[in-house]
Amino acid sequence: MIVLFTDFGLEGPYTGQVKAVLYRTAPGVPVVELFADAPAGRPEPAAYLLAAYGVWFPPGTVLVAVIDPGVGGPRPPVIVEADGRWYVGPDNGLFELVTRRAESARTWEILWRPETLSASFHGRDLFAPVAASLASGERPAHEPRVPEIGRHADWPDDLPEIVYVDRYGNAMTGLRGSLLPKAARLAVSGRVLRRAHTFSDVPAGEAFWYENSNGLAEIAVNAGRAADVLQLAIGSAVAVLR
């Protein structure tokens, strides 16, 4: 299957045009819209989200991942193969955590260019056709490039910030819940939150954190919106109290 992970949104033409290219170029291959509202123009928080959610898909999946504030600029377009999954998108740090956490990873710069390539929509004109080719069984014809060491080495293995707010007002962090102590508390917006297994373990209106279904530490309010109650947004700092 082909999976879309973008900040294009569902309003306007962008996601629809990308899907049209995929259906035209790889007919019969299912297309899944995973995120159309990933952190807009912010590859760093999006990288932690992609690393957590990409591994849910089986090997062989092709993920079109486009958070690309530098579109049309010098950042190279790349194909990444990590533990059997294929990722296509801009080389701006978006795949940093995917490759860092993978047992095996290779990266190719995309050298192919279509006859018409807009300066501002590589998701449609470049990444979608390449992803469709991969999903149809084609593989890069040249050797992987040598990894560039240290470009994003300062990015932590787990990000103590909010990386996504869902439609219910729950706020995902870039922290993996399994790596936090069982008794760990999270401090956000001047509040200290204890861990719970799920929503019904705390009274209505109480804020807490839990390990969500894809392994990230997530902040929530039972029967409420954590983002509103705690004034959380992408980039809000989170401290771990042990």
Query: What is the bridge-based pairing of β-strands 159-165 and 105-109?
Result: unpaired
Q: Out of 3.40.50.620, 3.90.105.10, 2.40.30.90, 2.40.50.140, which CATH number does the structure's domain 159-241 have?
A: 2.40.30.90
Task: Report the SS3 class of residue 150.
Answer: coil
What's the CA gap between 196 and 120, in Å, rounded?
44
Burial 50-66 (b: 16+ CB within 10 A, else e): bbbbbbeeeeebbbbbb
* pLDDT tier, 151 (very low <50, low <70, confident <90, very high otherwise): confident
* pLDDT tier, 150 (very low <50, low <70, confident <90, very high otherwise): confident
- C-alpha separations of 228 from 9, 42, 232 in Å: 22, 22, 7
In 3D, which of 78, 60, 63, 71 has the Cα closest to residue 32? 63
Which residue is it, tokens 């399994």?
178
Instruction: Read off the tokens for 82.
Output: 């990590």
Is the separation of the CB atoms in 72 and 112 below 8 Å?
no
Instruction: Read off the tokens for 132.
Output: 């469709």
Whole-number pLDDT of residue 22: 98
For the cut 90, the answer to whether the pLDDT of residue 148 exceeds it is no
Whole-number pLDDT of residue 146: 80
For the chain, give every residue range classified as CATH 3.40.50.10790. 2-135
Which CATH topology does 2-135 take?
Rossmann fold (3.40.50)
Taking residues 150-157, report their average pLDDT: 91
What's the CA gap between 46 and 5, in Å, rounded?
9
